[in-house]
Amino acid sequence: MDFGFCLSPSSHVKMDSIDLTTFNRLKETNPDVNTCIACGSCTATCTAGNFTEMSFRRLLLMLQRGKEDEAKKMIQRCMLCGKCTLVCPRGINIRKILLDITR
């Protein structure tokens, strides 16, 4: 029966069973990911974010939650313009991290 609405699927993440290989590898090669304060400056300035839902802040969160496929899909939107790196108050080399995720 169609009520015109439904329950949204659970967004529950089981932290014990997710695969964090990519994020752990990233932490090793780019230790500065640990210093992110999720301020969202990268998202606010993103050239691709102007047209799509691209957001580096969310991307990092996805990786921390083991949602690797979603993260990799999001990276495809990136134009590598480097504005995120420029505005990051923590001096994180974001462009390098974006490139390293898929390496």
Partner 1 sequence: MNQYIFHPFVLPFVLGMAFVLTYCVVGLFRVICLLPKDDRKQFWRSLVTPKTAWANIRDLFGDCLFHVKIWKRNPILGYMHSAIAFGWFMIIVIGHVMLFTLKPLEGVEVEGFARTFTNFYYPIFYKHFATETPVFAFLMDFFLLMIISGILIAVVKKIYSKIVGVKRVTKFGFADNMVRFALWTIFPFRLIAEKSNIMAFWWLYSIDLMIFMCLLPFTRYMHIPTEALFILLRHAGLKPREPRKGYALAQIYSCPSCGLCIDACPMSVNDKMSGNTSAYFMKKLRNADDKEAKRIAETCMQCGKCVAVCPLSIESCDIKMTQREATPYIINSDHSYLEDRHFDRPQGAEKSPSVLYFAGCMTQLTPKIMRAMKQIMEAAGENYEFMDKDGGICCGRPMLLSGKTAEAQAMIAKNTEIIKQSRAKKLVLSCPICYKVFKEENHLEGIEIQHHTQYIDELIKNGKLKVNKGEVNYVYHDPCELGRAFGVYDEPREVIENVGNLKKAKSEKELSICCGGSLGSFNLTQQERDEITENSVNDLMFNNPEQIVTACPLCLKTFARKSPVAVKDIAEVVVENI
Interface residues with partner 1 (CB under 8 A)?
A: 32, 45, 47-48, 50-52, 75-83, 86-87, 91-93, 95-96, 98-99, 102-103
Nearer to partner 1, 67 or 83 (CB): 83
Q: Least Å distance between CB 11 and partner 1?
A: 24
Enumerate the H helices of 1-103 as residue ranges.
21-29, 41-45, 56-64, 68-75, 83-87, 94-101
Q: List, in order, residues 6 or more apart from 79 with CB less than 8 Å away.
A: 47, 48
Alpha-carbon gap, residue 60 to 75, rounded angstroms: 11
Q: Least Å distance between CB 69 and partner 1?
A: 12
Nearer to partner 1, 13 or 82 (CB): 82
Nearer to partner 1, 13 or 99 (CB): 99
